[in-house]
Amino acid sequence: MEIRPLSDHVVVKPITEEKTVAGIVLPDTAKDKLTRGEVLAVGSGRLLDNGTRAPLEVKVGDVVLFSSEAGQKVRIDDADYLLLREADILAVLQSASVLA
């Protein structure tokens, strides 16, 4: 099944497993309040008063930071995703090394 977000919504696949430099996997209770995820799909943008759409700043493939309480959790085909508004996204990570 495919999911297409509407308006200024974004579909994010949470990146849940975090390791320390020594290779120790951190449990969810030891993690910070910010969560990382990969953007899988973006909506068409927020509708402005003049009838045009404001394009989203994030794009498919971006790794983003957001609050762990943000968005709606959805389960599709045995996989967990988050539906977020673009305003819930706090930052885009620029370096691929942050995933390691």
The enclosing domain of 21 has a CATH number of 2.30.33.40
Domain membership of residue 34 (yes or no) is yes
End-to-end Cα spacing for the chain? 29
- Distance in angstroms (rounded) separating the CA atoms of residues 58 and 62: 7
Domain membership of residue 17 (yes or no) is yes
Q: How many domains does the chain have?
A: 1
pLDDT above 70 for 1: no
- Whole-prediction pTM: 0.76
| Full residue range of the structural domain in which residue 61 is found | 9-92
Find how far residue 27's CA is from the centre of its chain. 20
Domain membership of residue 85 (yes or no) is yes
Domain membership of residue 1 (yes or no) is no
Assigned token pair, 37: 């995820």
pLDDT in tens, 21-64: 566 665 555 555 678 999 999 999 999 999 999 999 999 999 99
Domain membership of residue 36 (yes or no) is yes
- Distance in angstroms (rounded) separating the CA atoms of residues 71 and 53: 22
Domain membership of residue 33 (yes or no) is yes
